[in-house]
Structure 1
Amino acid sequence: MLEGSRIAAGHWEGVWTGAAEPAFQVLHQERALPGLSCEALGEGRWRLRLPIPAALLSDGVQTFLLRAGDDTVGHFTIVSGQPLEADLRAEIDLLRAELDLLKRAFRRHCVETAG
């Protein structure tokens, strides 16, 4: 379970609670980002840290998905440029990313069960 997250000094940070060291990746527009680190805090807690590439920051909404295998277990959103109304665009961006995930899983299921 992702307990908290923040962005500080160009890095996203979050705390994960789980029994074993997590195997995560962070995706932005379906591309995995390098540099995700995981540090044990003790008692099944892990600090996740990711440098946010400056090249990904531009006007608008940028949504980053925290994935464990095929499951989305968290996300963070960066809004820059002109103020946006009530983060509605961030939610739409997240829904699009989730829909893309479901489409890929459905297509994979159809291929695996065909024949």
Structure 2
Amino acid sequence: MSTLKLHKIRFQNGLWEGLLEAPDATDAPAVQVLHLDRPLTEVNLAPEPEGNQWSLSFKVPNSALTDGVQSFLICDQSSNETLGELTLIAGDAVADDLRAEVELLRAELDMLKGAFRRHCRDTQHDG
């Protein structure tokens, strides 16, 4: 089991940034970021002044900015455990998912409106 803990700081302008805590490590931990089962080549790991903490960052490659779902796994190489992930969804897949979700919400709202109207009608006649 990995003793590493990863905390996301932000994802902005295509740059993912996080803080890696490694309480038992004296050297920089072996971490890799995988996309489509291949490691990214530009992963930056820099020590923090606090000790046993490292700043971790990676730039999302332009080739990953495409239709569909893209996943990035941040892994501890020594234990092969996933420490964190980044998932990007873009293009037509998003539009279809959002439309389906809105349709589901509309159907549920129509059902609730009908039930509320029946309730109001039934309680008026009981009074």
Does residue 31 of structure 1 match 2:38? yes
Does residue 9 of structure 1 match 2:13? yes
Partner SS, residue 42 of structure 1:
coil
Residue 88 of structure 2, aligned match among 78, 81, 87: 78
Residue 63 of structure 1, aligned match among 63, 71, 78: 71
For residues 6 and 45 of structure 2, what CA distance do their matches in structure 1 show? 13
Residue 22 of structure 1, aligned match among 19, 26, 29: 29
Identity of aligned residues (%): 35
Structure 1 unaligned residues grouped into runs of 5+: 86-115
Structure 2 unaligned residues grouped into runs of 5+: 99-127
For residues 21 and 15 of structure 2, what CA distance do their matches in structure 1 show? 20
Of Structure 1 and Structure 2, which has the larger fraction of its residues in helix? Answer: 2
Q: Which has the larger radius of gyration?
A: 2
CA displacement, residues 58-106 of structure 1 (integer Å, 9 cap, x when unaligned): 1111110011121111111111124235xxxxxxxxxxxxxxxxxxxxx
How far residue 6 of structure 1 moved from its aligned partner, in angstroms, is: 2.3
Superposition RMSD on alpha carbons, in Å? 1.5
Following TM superposition, the consecutive aligned residue runs of length 4 or more in structure 1 with deviations greater than 6 angstroms are: none
Q: Does the C-alpha gap of structure 1 residues 37 and 54 become closer, same or farther in structure 2, counting only changes over 3 Å?
A: same
The size of the alignment, in residue pairs, is 85
